Amino acid sequence: MPIVNMNVNGNPVTGEVEGRTLLVQFLRENLGLTGTHIGCDTSQCGSCVVHVDGKSVKSCTLLAVMADGSEVTTIEGLANGAELHPMQQAFMDNHGLQCGFCTPGMVMSALDIVNRNGNELDENTVRKELAGNICRCTGYHNIVKSVTAGAKAMGD
Amino acid sequence: MYEFSYYKSGSVEDAVEAMNKAEDGKFVAGGQTMLPTMKHRLASPSDVIDLGGIAELSGISVDGDSVTIGAMTTHAEVAASGDVQAMIPALAQLASGIGDPAVRNQGTLGGSIANNDPAADYPAAVIALGATVKTNKREIAADDFFTGMFETALEDDELITAVSFPKADSAAYMKFENPASRYAIVGVFLAKTGSAVRVGVTGATPCAHRGMRLEEALNSNFSADACDGVEIPVEKMNTDIHASAEYRAHLVKVMTKRAVAACS
Ligand SMILES: Cc1cc2nc3c(=O)[nH]c(=O)nc-3n(C[C@H](O)[C@H](O)[C@H](O)COP(=O)(O)OP(=O)(O)OC[C@H]3O[C@@H](n4cnc5c(N)ncnc54)[C@H](O)[C@@H]3O)c2cc1C
Ligand code: FES
Ligand code: FES
């Protein structure tokens, strides 16, 4: 069986996988990083979004072997000990979640939005850029507020 | 997903050799179509040959009046490319409207046109711009490349290496998108060079095609009004839960008119 090596949240990891093991399965089942969720089987919901080499990808639509040798960041890699990342804090402060299932993917996509668009985000940009993340609870309004506030806080 | 053996190829020759050895091999590029299809067990290749490690398949270069884009170049890279924005802004805009940011970070030009989904965006641009598809074996003209629903002129062991897009004087892509997937319910790419107009239509029929009747009307009178008299054959249109054949035929005209307005 193939062996994969990656750097996940700053830690070198290695593991034996099948060719068909998805990156999300490797993260959840081999590494126990269950913060990354699986919400669909059609690559549409975005609850599995992680960063691979600095870019957002759907970890349910990537084989673990395809990510061999890369740097992966998951939701578990954001907080600094007990101190939440500014984007996580913004979701908390703005009530940007209800059940929380979509939240890890929302936060990872939000950071990708900031990386590409900077710290001053308008509502339209955020809504358009979150096209690949589905939330069944909030109606998105507070998610958009959270992302805008989190982006700003990251610049302060 | 069924089991398969995975191979990461290091060069085009290596990938083609692996394909020839495989019982029922498939190339994987970004995996954004392949993996969902395999998860649903609609495809079950014995061997998956990854093109992701082949550096020569990625990148964008300008050569005179055309832009050549490597098959493994992602939608996000095309959308962000200064060269593409300067030469064919409509192509950068098309790429920026495919799916969502995570799909655009993984999905590739080569994968999109090799797959030839009836609702994919790139085929409309390849057709309207009269692009040339370069493979490990030959060069294929746009008009000969897309042969049917999910069908192309590619042979089993043929690999797209790049696509060369000639610059147009003006071009525009107008898509009426499915709000859930962003795939085209109907998409029209219009390119005008000198007085010659080419229209690429996707989403409307089982395979992207040239809108010959629209081209004829626009060649003699380049105006949105010229589209009014054109008859769009309703019986050839797709019909599904998203849109009826009549509605798609209507959208073909509306999207073409918007593209004409954008190019005027
Ligand atoms: C949620 C979602 C939304 C999407 N929305 C859109 C949209 O709005 N518009 C749109 O156009 N597309 C959309 N797509 C599809 C997306 O653009 C895919 O990336 C693309 O169709 C396939 O590219 P890929 O690189 O992922 O190819 P893969 O999935 O890896 O491969 C697709 C097929 O092409 C073959 N192939 C790949 N590369 C080559 C090559 N170089 N030579 C020969 N054969 C090759 C493979 O063997 C396979 O059969 C969407 C996908 C998802 C998951
Ligand atoms: S689980 Fe990956 S997109 Fe839904
Ligand atoms: S908070 Fe429940 S799915 Fe978004």
Q: Is the predicted ipTM greater than 0.90, yes or no?
A: yes
Every domain range in chain B assigned CATH 3.30.43.10 = 5-50
Type of residue at A23: L
- Give the chain A residue whose CA is nearest to the CA of B41: A41
The pLDDT of residue A67 is: 97
Give B83-92 pLDDT, tens digit per residue: 999 999 999 9
Cβ neighbours of A20 in B, within 8 Å: 1-4, 38
Cβ neighbours of B2 in A, within 8 Å: 20
For strands B25-28 and B47-50, give the pairing: parallel
The pLDDT of residue A124 is: 97
Class of domain B170-263: alpha beta
List phi, psi (to 5°) of B73: -70, 130
Instruction: Report all structural domains of chain A as residue ranges with CATH numbers, in order of start.
Output: 3-76 (3.10.20.30), 86-155 (1.10.150.120)
Cα of A55 vs centre of ligand 3, distance in Å, is 23
Question: Span B96-100, mean pLDDT?
Answer: 97
For the CA of B72, the closest atom of ligand 1 is 41
Every domain range in chain B assigned CATH 3.30.465.10 = 60-166
Q: Which CATH architecture does the domain made up of B60-166 adopt?
A: 2-Layer Sandwich (3.30)
The pLDDT of residue A1 is: 85
pLDDT by residue, tens only, chain A of 156 residues: 899 999 999 999 999 999 999 999 999 999 999 999 999 999 999 999 999 999 999 999 999 999 999 999 999 999 999 999 999 999 999 999 999 999 999 999 999 999 999 999 999 999 999 999 999 999 999 999 999 999 999 999
Cβ within 8 Å of A, B 7-36: 8, 28, 31-32, 35-36
Give B231-256 pLDDT, tens digit per residue: 999 999 999 999 999 999 999 999 99
Instruction: Tell me the whole-structure pTM to 2 decimals.
Output: 0.97
Question: With 90 as the cut, is the pLDDT of residue B261 above it?
Answer: yes
SS (H, E, C) A48-89: CEEEECCEEEEHHHCEHHHHCCCEEECHHHCCECCECCHHHH
Percent of chain B scoring above 90 in pLDDT: 98
Nearest Cα residue to B20 out of B138, B155, B111: B155
User: Does A63 contact B181 at a Cβ distance shorter than 8 Å?
Assistant: no
* pLDDT band of B187, cuts 50, 70, 90: very high
Mean residue pLDDT of chain B comes to: 97
Question: With 90 as the cut, is the pLDDT of residue B145 above it?
Answer: yes
Question: Span B155-174, mean pLDDT?
Answer: 97
Cβ within 8 Å of A, B 29-68: 31-32, 35-36, 38-40, 48, 50, 52
Give A61-96 pLDDT, tens digit per residue: 999 999 999 999 999 999 999 999 999 999 999 999
Q: Which residues contact B169 (CB under 8 A, 6 or more apart)?
A: B192, B193, B194
Tell me: domain B5-50, CATH 3.20.170.30, correct?
no
Percent of chain B scoring above 70 in pLDDT: 100
Every domain range in chain B assigned CATH 3.30.390.50 = 170-263
Q: Which long-range contacts (CB under 8 A, 24 or more apart) does B13-22 make?
A: B13/B136, B15/B49, B15/B51, B15/B54, B15/B159, B16/B136, B16/B157, B16/B159, B18/B47, B18/B49, B19/B47, B19/B49, B19/B156, B19/B157, B19/B159, B20/B157, B22/B46, B22/B47, B22/B49
Cα of B227 vs centre of ligand 2, distance in Å, is 41
Q: What angle do CA A115, A33, A152 make, to 5 degrees?
A: 25
* pLDDT band of B180, cuts 50, 70, 90: confident
Which residue puts its alpha carbon closest to atom 4 of ligand 1?
B99
| B97 touching chain A per CB within 8 A | no
Exposed e or buried b per residue across A30-59, where buried means at least 16 C-beta atoms within 10 angstroms of its C-beta: bbebebbbbbeeebbbbbbbbbbeebbbbb
